[in-house]
């Protein structure tokens, strides 16, 4: 069973609107959680990284939240742009473990 | 330094042929990872190098797959006797320490006909 589950699988939003992506994980003990953006045909690019003590982290129009108690994270995209169309992958690291647990990603499509 | 690079970006081959991919990590990164990603899924771990030593291989890495990092810099991933099920995006990543952010290359997309 995958240790990182993301929802929704995909979503379509209009340019300028906001959206929120969800990530639930079971990785334990937990070290950190990253959100990556992957454009079609490209490798993932890190957006944010949070350790267990951090509740929120922003990177421009992207804001990630983390609740380490419930093992949930969200990624909020504000005022979406066409260039935000991509797959967003939640990635969790266990403590003292180089192996990353990847979610299947949420595909976001922004339409004009 | 422009980040992790991979070559080729695309490869189409016939079933049964051998293919080799190359990854050049960020120069000061001593850790290098290979992943495989199929459509609609997140990357799956294949193998990991610390300098030139291959420290772990996933059970996904059958005996047809071999990876090397001879001088602790670039790495190659070879697939022998390719099968249609090998069609995927092969991603390489590197990091400075094992808890540090892994930086991904653009990937090599393999299509086995």
Mark yes or no for CB contact A99/B102 under 8 Å: no
**Nearest beta carbon to residue A100 from set B89, B102, B105:** B102
Please report where in the chains the tokens 């260039």 appear, as a residue: A83
B22 contact partners, CB below 8 Å, separation of at least 6:
B6, B7, B74, B75, B76
Determine whether A3 is exposed, middle or buried from the number of CB atoms within 10 Å of its CB (0-12, 13-18, 19+): middle
Q: pLDDT per residue over B67-86, tens digit each?
A: 999 988 999 999 999 999 99
Q: Give yes or no for a contact between B32 and B22, defined as CB atoms under 8 angstroms apart.
A: no
Using a CB–CB cut-off of 8 Å, the residues of B that contact A are: 4, 6, 31, 33, 40-45, 48, 89, 91, 93, 95, 98-99, 101-107, 109
Q: A31: closest CA among A49, A13, A8?
A: A49
pLDDT of residue B60: 80
Q: pLDDT per residue over A53-96, tens digit each?
A: 899 999 999 999 999 999 999 999 999 999 999 999 999 988 76
Nearest-CA distance from B82 to chain A in Å? 21
Check whether A2 has a pLDDT greater than 80. no
Q: pLDDT per residue over B25-62, tens digit each?
A: 999 899 999 999 998 899 999 999 999 999 888 888 88
Q: What residues of chain A lie within 8 A of the CB of B43, using their CB?
A: 44, 89, 100, 102
**Nearest beta carbon to residue A98 from set B91, B98, B103:** B98
Nearest-CA distance from B58 to chain A in Å? 11
Check whether A49 has a pLDDT greater than 70. yes
The Cα B110–Cα A47 span in angstroms is 27
Check whether A13 has a pLDDT greater than 90. yes
CA-to-CA dists, residue A78 to A47, A81, A89, B38, angstroms:
14, 9, 17, 29
């Amino acid at each position: 069973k995958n240790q990182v589950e993301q929802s929704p699988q995909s979503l379509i939003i209009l340019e300028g609107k906001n959206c929120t992506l969800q990530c639930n994980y079971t990785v334990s003990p937990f070290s950190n959680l990253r959100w990556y953006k992957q454009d079609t045909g490209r490798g993932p690019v890190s957006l944010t990284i949070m350790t267990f003590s951090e509740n929120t982290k922003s990177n421009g129009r992207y804001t990630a939240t983390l609740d380490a108690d419930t093992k949930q994270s969200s990624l909020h995209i504000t005022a979406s742009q066409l260039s935000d169309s991509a797959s967003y992958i939640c990635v969790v690291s266990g403590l003292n473990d180089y192996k990353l647990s990847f979610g299947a990603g949420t595909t976001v499509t922004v339409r004009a | 330094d422009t980040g992790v690079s991979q070559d080729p970006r695309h490869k189409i081959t016939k079933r049964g042929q051998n293919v080799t991919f190359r990854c050049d990590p960020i120069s000061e990164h001593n850790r290098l990872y290979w992943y495989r990603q199929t459509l609609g899924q997140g990357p799956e771990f294949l193998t990991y190098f610390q300098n030139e030593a291959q420290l772990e291989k996933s059970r996904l890495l059958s005996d047809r797959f071999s990876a090397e990092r001879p001088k602790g810099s670039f790495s190659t991933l070879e697939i022998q006797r390719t099968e249609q099920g090998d069609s995927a995006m092969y991603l390489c990543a590197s990091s400075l320490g094992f808890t540090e952010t892994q930086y991904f290359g653009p990937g090599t997309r393999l299509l086995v006909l």
